[in-house]
Structure 1
Amino acid sequence: MKAILVLLSLFITSILTAQHQPNLDVERIKAEVTINDTLRSISGEVSIYFHIKSAVDSVFFDAQNFKSINLNQFKFNYNSEKIIFYHHFKPNKSYKINLSYQAKPKQTLYFTGKLGDSEFPLQMWTQGQGKYTSHWLPSLDDMRDKIEFDLTYTLPSRYKLVSNGSLKRKTEHLNLSTWEFDMQQPMSSYLVAFAAGNYIEETQNSKSGIPIHNYLPIQDSTKFKSTYTYTQEVFNFLEQKIGVSYPWQNYKQIGVRDFLYAGMENTTCTIFSDEFITDSIAKNDSDFVNVEAHELAHQWFGNLVTETSAKHHWLHEGFATYFSYLAQEHLFGTEFFEHQLFTTAESLKLRSDQGKGQRLLNPNANSLTFYEKGAWALHALRNRVGDKVFFEAISQYLVNNAYKPVETDDFLAEVQSLTKVNLAQFKQDWLLQKSFPAKEAQLILKESPFIEQLFELKALRERPVSEKEKQLKEALLSKHIDFFGPEVALQLISDKNLIEPELLQLALQTNHLKTRQVLIKNLNKIPHQLQLSFEELLSDESYLTREHALLKLWLNFPKKRNIYLKQTKGQDGNIHLNIKLLHLMLSALTNPDEAYQPVKDLVSFTGSKMPYQIKRQAFVYLFQLNYFDEESLINLSEDLSHPVWRYRSFVKQLFTEILKDDAINNIVIELLNNDKIHNRSKLKDLLKK
């Protein structure tokens, strides 16, 4: 009998793996969570309040790889993915389940930095995109389930913590702080989040009275103004343009180290990559506005109304992308907006012409499709039905579907209710067709005189500079230099026969940052006549320009290498030390007899506490120096399991390359034999290859 019950349990579990529970309505999850920063683990006491619509014998909740689960009310089974509760649950009746758990998540909850370090202190944050919150909190992975979450966190007092909803109270006991948050409206589980670390806070209010809380690490406390320059204005614009009041109690933004994406729109609590934490110079290279507006727009598109499945993912990303474009149009002008559309249309058409176009309603579509093609679909729809109908339909769609799961037809029905335009053709052209409707996009774009001029400028690409000198000069002197300048720069440096540097000098004298940046980044041979002009870029209002200027000047004028290094000594550059790291490599190459210290400094920047962007660049420079010692190889091996997949892929590729060197290969084998190296099985697989 026991064997039969076990088999039955396994059978039920396999069915539940992908099953939605239509008879279960989870109304509230209340949890008291304790975070252990030393063990990098989490535990909690959870109360789940739910209503049964019709009689069932079991319900389940998602819980991934928990160490332990305890409760006394119902019989249950746990299969490392789901907790299944067995009971004769009666129809139209409400229940409450109390349970406790412990977990040490391998994903979704991340600990970055080093405990006790002053320069790169420990940060703790979550990333539950899609269906991953259940790795640290019992919940429901299905996005269709909307739940009110009220979460309380206890952790060491040295940290400040932010989470969803309003902070009701904070209490202190011994060396611990308890933070109690309250959500008033339901949301999908994947939008539950927290972030904690050594942060400071600045608060402002929207025009409608919504509190906006902005956070920065203590060491970046001087960067509030440059990082959050447009926060209040973007918030006010989106609330007005969308036509629906911000649907939550407050809004928070916090930058974290080693974040997996640019940003994530957790309900009331956007977490974003620290690469967008900028000073007054770095903001010229990595402005937060696009990401900020995109994630804020998600508070309506994705959080207030949520897709039923990935097939309708454009309802999140396409809408957030388009309203981010609109916010930037409000801030920077119509030409900026039109140029964004032009640039993305070029990318989409190229993919389409290569036979790589995708349907918007393809659940497996790539980001370019969901984000950019989705935004273009909205712009085309707006063009077909007119502004009045378009924006009224947006508001109506949000109001009528608030806190509900939605599909594409729900949106189209709202638009159709306000117009006689047949949307069947729109759906076919933009949502169901793989190819990008380039002709329609081009017709829309060419309504702008500015875009017409840009088309004409780009049409000159194949002609030598000698035949288009007049047009290029006019473009550099145009009021549209922001958009024409970089294009002219690209055309100038792509002409191998360009000998006369007059146009290069003119491009530099326009005093346009992006034009200078394109020139120095792509120009390999600096004319001697322009040496002094290019040397001025070492103090440019862009850390990226300074970085490229240092490298290109060092390469072009060997006799002045020490002068350039002296001029840039002590500069860190952006938050990921782009100038400092380059300076170390060039110092080692310039003065081989004194290379020991800069090389060892580079090795120190590969340590486990470092942000992955710093480690990646340090490893690149060590590769160029052909230097890998035991310490750097141990650090590199540790990152074969790094949570950021792009960096993890880089580490694997780098290891594959350096293991071709017999000397490095032998060092790695010795480290393996002495059990000094990480990710042994992954490394052994690479050695076999």
Structure 2
Amino acid sequence: MKLRIFIGLLLLGICVQAQHQDRIHFTHADVSIAIDPYNQLIKGSVVYDIKVVQSVDSVFLDAKNMQFSAVLLAGKKVRFSNDGKFLTIKKKLRKGKEYQLSLTYSATPQQTVYFIGWPPSPSKHPDSMRGRSQIWTQGQGKYTSHWLPSFDDMNEKVEFDMDITFNKNYDVIANGELRDTRVTDSLKTWFFDMEHPMSSYLLAFAIGHYKRQEAVSTEGVPLQMYYYPQDTLEVEPTYRYSKRIFDFMVSEIGVAYPWQNYKQIPVRDFLYAGMENTGTTIFSDGLMIDSVAFVDRNYVNVNAHELAHQWFGDMVTEVDGHHHWLQEGFATYYALLAEKEIFGDAYFYWKLYDSALELQKLSNDGKGKSLTDPKASSLTFYDKGAWALVMLRDLVGDIAFKKGIHNYLKKYQFKNVTISDFLVEMERASGKDLSVFKDTWLIGTAFPDAQTRKKLMDASPSIASFYALQHEMTASSGNDGAIVQRYWKNTNSGLLKKRIVERYLKTLSADFIRQAFASDDIEIRQALAVGMDKIPTDLKPEFESLLNDKSYVTTENALYKLWIYFPGDRGKYLDSTQGIVGFANKNVRLLWLTLALLTKDYHENKKPDYYRELSGYTAPRYSFEVRQGAFQYLDGGIGFSDQNLKDLINACIHHNWQFKKYGRGLLDRLMEIPRYKKRLIQISKELKGKELRYISNKLDKE
């Protein structure tokens, strides 16, 4: 009975805390942190200004695994408790009063702050990592409380000013305007100022070695685009159209950019493509590209998506996950509009076509979700969410749509919102009842295929032709090749021809394929490189010509397939591609090294060098994309050295969940092979720390 009473009181306490928190408002924070990267330690202080709406007898903040050396309210020490999750201050606060809460603390974050390439001490810092070590944050949702006593609640919006102290030889970037810097011996402090409130999960910083390119938007907003000093040739292709995207977004949305400046910072081994921290987008350095890669894989969509979030998510923030469409659906939609502005209408509608196919498959498989379901997939929130806005704009018209967006953003700026708040503004702007739209697009789980198909056919002649081609191919019992040939000849759309190749390649004659090869369109030729499983001898010259295309996807596919089907010319193909690296993940180089090692009589004297290079790419000093690619090729037949196995164990505890999952799956498979298990047992004796704990646990379970 006592246990039940205790649990009941505990639950009541939590409920009381939540209610009390609604009765006070944190308005401003002065944050000061100093970071020790070798011990992964943050020492900090924060002073919060508090307004009391209704009298309370306690205040709490989210504070994960922190130690507090001082807790002061109105300059006086107060009673507090710290259970490793919450900091609770026991003190009566009177309605209508304002207080200052001062906290001094330390934390060793288990997540949210990521220390990349830092050894346990400066003396063990390898020269290869000194210019590549980084620290960056990713607090999306509710995780900033791992390094700052704050709020795991998007509804608490605070104006954060922050100063950060670190080694003076590094660059520190954070939200807001850099107002000042001060140097003391080997340390430097950067002072950042914000003007408007935001949810604490959007507070961020990045530390590393950077240069930056600067621009100014048409409305005078400073744009700061960061890059690694060695990546000067990648700056223009990566940030191509950045100013144009910014100016377009301001014009299209119809509300001024809400923050003082806009920064974009690439970081290594990021958890996602990008994250829209307030005024400070952090993104994966895998998106830093050269001019060749731009055709295959560029930063434009991510660039525009994270920028759109500065309005939809950062300035106006969802109340909770039931309203996540208001952030991801809107950011996806406006990013598509930015791409439409840059690449044209046809590109825009074909991207919508591709997403409609995925959404329809999801729906047909019984996995369709409502846009109000907080557990919906990214495909639902992003792509179905964007489609919902496409159809809403059609329904209410351009003028009413833009008016509704403007009114919604102005009314709720720096506040939290629900879907109903948005729909009310759209109904007022358009004079239309949107209940059917809400039921169909927001509440309904099925994807409205008939509506989207009609929209695409009305908007895009090339997509209408593709639908017609598919129908004719399904209904016809005649010559499929002749049907495809007719549609091919009757269009000038490279995007349509690319889809024809992708869908009907196996039905095409050699003459038709030769015709497609003769195209100057890189995407059509890439579709051939990717789609052709076999290379007929009479198409060998055409396929060989793909090695000259300015596309890393094409080069990778063409090299591999030519190497497979024409073994007598392997040396020639390797010679012609030996200097190509490919994307940031070194896709072409890793393939080249593997094929060079497997090719008999090809530079036998250099094969030890080739192996050292390929094998070396599993090391932690490389990005997880490069490491995973190297593991895959070594696993495919080359074999693993002891160092590779050590690197694999390291991968199993990596912070990036995708890479960690891959590493653990590979290790589990190797453990089933006796010779590898025996080697892993021996290797475990050389390990320490997390790697030793992980492999020991695996071996103990065997």
1:62 partner amino acid: D
Deviation sequence 1:514-566 (CA, Å, 0-9, x none): 22222112212112222222222223211121111111111111111122222
Give yes or no for contact 2:131–2:209 (8 Å, CA) kept in 1.
no
Indicate the larger mover: 130-139 or 560-569.
Answer: 560-569
Q: Matched residues in 2 for 1:491 and 1:464: separation? A: 18
Q: Is the counterpart of residue 418 in structure 1 residue 422 in structure 2?
A: no
Indicate the larger mover: 500-509 or 257-266.
Answer: 500-509
Counterpart selection for 2:506 from 494, 499, 506: 494
Give yes or no for contact 1:476–1:510 (8 Å, CA) kept in 2.
no
Q: Matched residues in 2 for 1:527 and 1:362: separation? A: 50
Q: Matched residues in 2 for 1:19 and 1:508: separation? A: 67
Counterpart selection for 1:83 from 76, 87, 92: 87
Q: Matched residues in 1 for 2:179 and 2:207: separation? A: 17
Indicate the larger mover: 235-244 or 544-553.
Answer: 544-553
Q: Hey, what does 1:131 align to over in structure 2?
A: 142
Match of 1:226, SS state, is: helix
Give yes or no for contact 2:317–2:327 (8 Å, CA) kept in 1.
yes
1:109 partner amino acid: V
Q: Matched residues in 1 for 2:665 and 2:20: separation? A: 40
Task: Give the percent of matched residue pairs that are identical in Structure 1 and Structure 2.
Answer: 37
Q: Hey, what does 1:586 align to over in structure 2?
A: 595
Q: Matched residues in 1 for 2:214 and 2:278: separation? A: 18
Give yes or no for contact 1:290–1:324 (8 Å, CA) kept in 2.
yes
Q: Is the counterpart of residue 107 in structure 1 residue 116 in structure 2?
A: no
Counterpart selection for 1:602 from 599, 614, 631: 614
Q: Is the counterpart of residue 615 in structure 1 residue 624 in structure 2?
A: no
Unaligned runs of 5+ residues in structure 1 are none
Give yes or no for contact 1:492–1:504 (8 Å, CA) kept in 2.
no
Deviation sequence 1:179-213 (CA, Å, 0-9, x none): 11000000000100011111001110111111111
Counterpart selection for 1:564 from 550, 557, 573: 573
Counterpart selection for 1:430 from 424, 438, 441: 441
Q: Hey, what does 2:233 align to over in structure 1?
A: 222
1:480 partner amino acid: S
Q: Matched residues in 2 for 1:538 and 1:686: separation? A: 45
Q: Is the counterpart of residue 333 in structure 1 residue 344 in structure 2?
A: yes
Matches within 5 A, 1:588-667: 588-591=597-600, 595-667=607-679
Matches within 5 A, 1:443-454: 443-448=454-459, 449-454=461-466
Q: Hey, what does 2:54 align to over in structure 1?
A: 54
Give yes or no for contact 1:637–1:677 (8 Å, CA) kept in 2.
no
1:235 positional shift: 0.6
Matches within 5 A, 1:349-428: 349-428=360-439
Give yes or no for contact 1:239–1:246 (8 Å, CA) kept in 2.
yes
Q: Is the counterpart of residue 206 in structure 1 residue 217 in structure 2?
A: yes
1:260 positional shift: 0.5
Match of 1:45, SS state, is: strand
In 2 relative to 1, CA 529–18 (structure 1 residues): closer, same or farther, beyond 3 Å? farther
Q: Matched residues in 1 for 2:387 and 2:269: separation? A: 31
TM-score for both structures, normalised by structure 2: 0.92
Q: Hey, what does 2:122 align to over in structure 1?
A: none
Give yes or no for contact 2:462–2:496 (8 Å, CA) kept in 1.
no
Indicate the larger mover: 641-650 or 250-259.
Answer: 641-650
1:165 partner amino acid: G
Indicate the larger mover: 284-293 or 447-456.
Answer: 447-456
Q: Hey, what does 2:33 align to over in structure 1?
A: 33
Q: Matched residues in 1 for 2:622 and 2:131: separation? A: 7
In 2 relative to 1, CA 54–64 (structure 1 residues): closer, same or farther, beyond 3 Å? same
Q: Is the counterpart of residue 531 in structure 1 residue 543 in structure 2?
A: no
Q: Hey, what does 1:96 align to over in structure 2?
A: 100
1:55 partner amino acid: S
Q: Matched residues in 1 for 2:695 and 2:99: separation? A: 50
Q: Is the counterpart of residue 187 in structure 1 residue 198 in structure 2?
A: yes
In 2 relative to 1, CA 639–413 (structure 1 residues): closer, same or farther, beyond 3 Å? same
In 2 relative to 1, CA 291–384 (structure 1 residues): closer, same or farther, beyond 3 Å? same
Match of 2:46, SS state, is: strand
Give yes or no for contact 2:59–2:89 (8 Å, CA) kept in 1.
yes
Match of 1:121, SS state, is: coil
Deviation sequence 1:234-291 (CA, Å, 0-9, x none): 1111101111111111111111111111110000000111121111111112111111
In 2 relative to 1, CA 375–69 (structure 1 residues): closer, same or farther, beyond 3 Å? farther
Match of 1:272, SS state, is: strand
1:39 partner amino acid: N
Match of 2:429, SS state, is: coil
Give yes or no for contact 1:472–1:488 (8 Å, CA) kept in 2.
no
Q: Matched residues in 2 for 1:142 and 1:95: separation? A: 21
Counterpart selection for 2:481 from 459, 463, 468: 468
In 2 relative to 1, CA 445–628 (structure 1 residues): closer, same or farther, beyond 3 Å? same
Q: Matched residues in 1 for 2:282 and 2:433: separation? A: 40
Match of 1:607, SS state, is: coil
1:78 positional shift: 0.9
1:646 positional shift: 1.4
Matches within 5 A, 1:132-211: 132-211=143-222
Q: Matched residues in 1 for 2:223 and 2:447: separation? A: 38
Q: Matched residues in 1 for 2:637 and 2:86: separation? A: 50
Indicate the larger mover: 559-568 or 78-87.
Answer: 559-568
1:419 positional shift: 2.8
2:90 partner amino acid: Y
Deviation sequence 1:646-679 (CA, Å, 0-9, x none): 1111112212222221111111122335556854
Indicate the larger mover: 296-305 or 339-348.
Answer: 339-348
Q: Is the counterpart of residue 300 in structure 1 residue 311 in structure 2?
A: yes
Give yes or no for contact 1:576–1:613 (8 Å, CA) kept in 2.
yes
In 2 relative to 1, CA 465–423 (structure 1 residues): closer, same or farther, beyond 3 Å? same
In 2 relative to 1, CA 469–35 (structure 1 residues): closer, same or farther, beyond 3 Å? farther
Match of 1:566, SS state, is: helix
Match of 1:447, SS state, is: helix
Give the alignment's Cα RMSD to 1 decimal.
2.5
Give yes or no for contact 2:473–2:480 (8 Å, CA) kept in 1.
no
In 2 relative to 1, CA 20–644 (structure 1 residues): closer, same or farther, beyond 3 Å? farther
Q: Matched residues in 2 for 1:649 and 1:190: separation? A: 26
Q: Matched residues in 2 for 1:175 and 1:459: separation? A: 71
1:34 positional shift: 1.0
Q: Hey, what does 1:237 align to over in structure 2?
A: 248
Counterpart selection for 1:347 from 358, 361, 364: 358
Matches within 5 A, 1:314-333: 314-333=325-344
Q: Hey, what does 2:453 align to over in structure 1?
A: 442
In 2 relative to 1, CA 60–472 (structure 1 residues): closer, same or farther, beyond 3 Å? farther
In 2 relative to 1, CA 610–120 (structure 1 residues): closer, same or farther, beyond 3 Å? farther
Matches within 5 A, 1:269-308: 269-308=280-319
In 2 relative to 1, CA 16–524 (structure 1 residues): closer, same or farther, beyond 3 Å? farther
Q: Matched residues in 2 for 1:628 and 1:610: separation? A: 17
Matches within 5 A, 1:59-78: 59-72=59-72, 73-78=77-82
1:175 partner amino acid: S
Indicate the larger mover: 189-198 or 7-16.
Answer: 7-16
Give yes or no for contact 1:385–1:419 (8 Å, CA) kept in 2.
yes
Q: Hey, what does 2:682 align to over in structure 1?
A: 670
Give yes or no for contact 1:305–1:398 (8 Å, CA) kept in 2.
yes
Match of 1:538, SS state, is: helix
1:69 positional shift: 4.3
1:74 partner amino acid: V
TM-score for both structures, normalised by structure 1: 0.94
Counterpart selection for 2:521 from 488, 512, 517: 512
Q: Matched residues in 2 for 1:113 and 1:570: separation? A: 28
Indicate the larger mover: 309-318 or 48-57.
Answer: 48-57
Give yes or no for contact 1:476–1:484 (8 Å, CA) kept in 2.
no
